[in-house]
Amino acid sequence: MTTTPEPDASAHPGSEPDPDPTDAPAPRVRRFWAVRRIPAAVLAAVVLGGTGLLLYDVAAVRADRPAMAWRRKLADGLATRPLDDVAVVVGAAVAVVLGLWLLILAATPGLRGILPMRREHTDVRAGLDRKAAAFTLRDRVMEVSGVQSVRVRVGRAKVAVRAVSHFRALDEVRADVETVLATGVDELGLAHPPARTVRVARPPRKEGKAK
């Protein structure tokens, strides 16, 4: 009876084992960008209307017709009004604020209410609503013994928990809440786990009615 020896990987220094798919780097997770259809539609309508009206007036002047009254008035005002006039300053301020607002909309992602989740596959993106995350963590914290009520606020980088305990030592309740909160945040599958702050206090005392 003959046996065939198994090939030894060390006998072939040029061969390498197949890479483990779990060792592949996780895809980079970025925040979701808002579509902002309403600001884009309003801006497009304003620009289109103003451009169309101006082109119509220019074409009318080229056809030996008088210019519109608003354009003559605007040209006269720009030529005669000083730069420190109230109307000029207000108009310039409005234009600057509008331009800054448009730049902020173009440079920021928006959708602050959606937290990006970890990407297990490169072609799948998932997000979790902050209110849904707060409700989930609140239900988990309410399961801790001694917790009477709890308020959970989930931000983009921080989770704040304020619990009220009507029995048990506050240090014990706080430790249990921190443990449950850490587990709950990890189970949410967020790409950037937020920091956690926990505050536990006694319920306010009810003052007795005066006799």
Residue 140's pLDDT is what?
Answer: 93
Greater confidence, 17 or 202?
Answer: 202
For the ranges 20-34, 91-105, 189-203, the maximum mean pLDDT occurs at 189-203
List of residues 6+ apart from 97 with CB closer than 8 A = none
List the structure tokens of 177.
């809440």
pLDDT band per the 50, 70, 90 thresholds, residue 114: confident
pLDDT tier for residue 186 given thresholds of 50, 70 and 90: very high
Query: What does the longest C-alpha to C-alpha distance in the chain come to?
Result: 112
Q: Exposed (0-12), middle (13-18) or buried (19+): which is 38, by Cβ within 10 Å?
A: exposed
The SS3 call for residue 41 is helix
**pLDDT band at residue 15 under the 50/70/90 scheme:** very low
Q: What is the per-residue pLDDT for 207?
A: 63
Helix (H/G/I), strand (E/B), else coil: 201: strand
Identity of the amino acid at 158? K
How does DSSP classify residue 135? H
The residue among 30 and 204 whose pLDDT is bigger is: 204
* Residue carrying structure tokens 């065939």: 4
Structure-model confidence comparison of residues 211 and 46, the more confident one: 46
